[in-house]
A and B are shown apart, each in its own frame.
Chain A
Amino acid sequence: MASHWPPPGHFALLYFAAASEFTRRSVENIPAPIHATGLFGVIEQRYPGITDKVLSSCAVTVNLQYVDLDGDDAADKDLIIQEGDEVAIIPPVSSG
């Protein structure tokens, strides 16, 4: 897959598998910056119901690194998603 370059003031959000089936797209541009902990809320606003059906079992990467956003003492709870970042929703994998 080619790299996706979001326009100024935005980050790229990538969807795979069940996430892309729900949103009916593989990528979209979202205004930046936002708090990483607010990401699922932003997506839920655009796709009501996606948190329960899909996001609750998904991981998140920012610029190809997994981020830890679960709980008050999560390692990346203060992370800000910046303009130009590539963020991805990672459903449970099924290779092989």
Chain B
Amino acid sequence: MSAPPSDPLPLTAPGITVSLTHSPLNPLTPLTFVKSPKAGAVVLFAGTTRDSFDARPVATLAYESYAPLALTTLLSIATALKAKHGLLGVAIVHRLGEVPVGEESILIAVSAPHRQAAWRAGEEALEETKRRAEIWKLERFVGGEGVWRANRDGVMGVKVEERKEERGA
């Protein structure tokens, strides 16, 4: 087995941390980061890999990223939301490489003095991340076919196996 790829260093700003890692995610890490005696509300979102897409069984999922750009984008999202909602803390961590079905691929934690701001900011952080962060998901279906997903337009992206056959023809 080859050594696991090294993780890029997290980017931080006051009250903000964003990171990418090949290791399993621990929900306590972002939760602990954003907690504060001034924060009456902490919202934690855990995105978990599903075992199907459009009722088709998914065998494995893997994520890759353009790490320096993705981290810059995540920091920009966190910074904007912290200002917009008066947040005390924001932590976003996304997993890379293969993620077994049922494990977390993303954790977002936000804290605010009151719950309304925290709820709204948590949802916005996820939507903005899915829209903008330079991270890609490869779903391999049972049977071997692979598909790069695209959040932006909801299409299934490019079928890996079909294209390989075309090139071989």
- Interface residues in chain A, defined as those with a beta carbon under 8 Å from any beta carbon in chain B: 1, 3, 14, 16-18, 21-22, 53-54, 57, 61, 64, 88, 90-96
Contact = CB atoms under 8 A, between A and B. Distances in A.
B105 A16 contact: no
What's the interface size class on B, roughly? Answer: 35 or more
Which of A18, A22, A54, A88 neighbours the largest number of chain B CB atoms within 10 Å of its CB? Answer: A18
A61 B157 contact: no
A1 B94 CA distance: 15
Contact of A94 (B69, B70, B137): B137
Nearest to B47: A96
B151 A95 contact: yes
Given A93-B131, A94-B136, A94-B148, A14 B66 contact: yes
Interface of B: 8, 47, 63-70, 72, 94, 105-106, 126, 129-138, 148-153, 157-158, 160, 163
Given A21-B163, A94-B135, A95-B137, A64 B69 contact: yes
B66 A1 contact: yes
A61 B151 contact: no
14 contacts: A17-B138, A18-B148, A21-B163, A53-B163, A54-B158, A57-B150, A61-B69, A88-B66, A90-B66, A93-B130, A93-B151, A94-B130, A94-B136, A94-B157
A18 B66 contact: no
- Which of B129, B134, B152 has the most chain A CB atoms inside 10 A of its CB? B134
Given A21-B158, A88-B69, A93 B152 contact: yes
A14 B64 CA distance: 13
A1 to B, nearest CB: 5
Given A53-B158, A96-B106, A91 B150 contact: yes
